[in-house]
Amino acid sequence: MTNFNFSDKDLGNFKFKIDNSTFVPTHTSNLIIKSALKIIKNEEMSVLDLGCGCGVVAIIISRLAKANLNLFASDISDSVEDVVNENSLTHSVSINVRKSDIFDAWDDHKFDLIINDISGVAQDIAKISPWFKNISCEAGKGGDLLVNKVISESAEYLNDHGKLIFPIISFSNKESILNKARSMFSNVELIMKQDWPVPNEMLESKKLLEELKKDGCIDYKFSFGKLIGYTEVYCAY
């Protein structure tokens, strides 16, 4: 395992262990944490961190939320239990962690809040981005395959009045994801949005970006001569 330093001016600084099969937390994780803290009330809640990686979301909300949280976490990584257990011990947080392909390991549970940190980008974007160097991205042509699967199945694992938090990255098919969410939930609300500069590694593939945007697979904008993407976090209930 190697060290990863999580730093955010609003959330603070935290140290984590990660390994080669762990998805390294990005700005999306930061935005999801901030969104979850807006949703979590001062009460007892059961919370599932889905696609937990090193456990960054569950651990930080446990440390910062003013609530009694029963924490659960899962990831498809073979080492998820070892990594999350080590990090939770470091931060004095109790988490029930399981290796799972989305909800496969949670048939015996329902939750008050599911925080989905499984997102994705269009498959052609994944090939040129810096985000998927150590792990695969199997989110389909429009990058919506995994998020839509989570949205479709999540209602079965939510308690009455339970909520789902999920991200949409602009390099995925936003319209498809929102349509799926609105077909499954009565309410779908935007909680937070953040713009970010497109990584330099991707700027050499402008023609591909233009084609994918024309096809509706991705979205971006130009600002002061720079290519800008964005991440949005929604709450569905």
Alpha-carbon torsion angle 206, 207, 213, 216, nearest 10: -150
pLDDT at 130: 55
pLDDT at 149: 94
How many Å apart are CA 70 and CA 64, to the nearest integer?
Answer: 14
Token pair for 237: 């209930």
Asked whether residue 227 carries a pLDDT value surpassing 80, the answer given is yes
pLDDT band at 140 (very low <50, low <70, confident <90, very high): low
The helix or strand, by DSSP H or E, that contains position 120, with its residue range, turns out to be none
Q: Which fold has domain 18-196+231-236?
A: Rossmann fold (3.40.50)
Q: What DSSP state is assigned to residue 51?
A: T
Share of residues in the chain with pLDDT > 70 (%): 92
How many Å apart are CA 134 and CA 20, to the nearest integer?
Answer: 6
Asked whether residue 23 carries a pLDDT value surpassing 80, the answer given is no
Domain map of the chain by residue range? 18-196+231-236
pLDDT tens digits along 154-174:
999 999 999 999 999 888 899
pLDDT at 185: 97
Do 156 and 230 meet the contact criterion of CB atoms below 8 Å apart? Answer: no
pLDDT tens digits along 80-133:
999 999 999 999 999 999 999 999 999 989 999 999 998 777 667 766 665 655
pLDDT at 46: 97
pLDDT tens digits along 176-211:
999 999 999 999 999 999 998 887 777 777 788 888
Token pair for 200: 């330099």
